[in-house]
Amino acid sequence: MPVIDTLIFDWDGTLADSVGHIVRAMQAAAEAVGLNVPSAHAVRGIIGLALPEAAEVLFPRDRHLAAAVVEAYRDFYLSGEQVPVGLFPGVREALDGWREQGFQLAVATGKGRKGLARILEQHQMLDYFDATRCADESVSKPDPTMLHQLVGELDTSASRALMVGDSGFDIQMAHNAGMRALAVSYGAQSKEQLLALSPLHCIDEFAELPVWLRTQGVVAAHK
Residues in the chain: 223
| Strand arrangement of the beta sheet that strand 131-134 belongs to | 131-134, 104-109, 6-9, 161-165, 180-184, 201-203
Active-site residue (options: 10, 17, 166, 170): 10
* Crossing angle between the packed helical segments 208-215 and 91-101, to the nearest 10 degrees: 30
The verdict on whether omega for the bond into residue 52 sits within 30 degrees of 0, i.e. cis, is no
Q: Is 12 a catalytic residue?
A: no
Instruction: Report the first-to-last Cα separation within the chain, whole angstroms.
Output: 17
Alpha helices per DSSP H over the chain: 19-32, 40-44, 51-58, 66-79, 91-101, 113-122, 145-153, 168-177, 191-195, 208-215
Tell me which residues are annotated as active site. 10
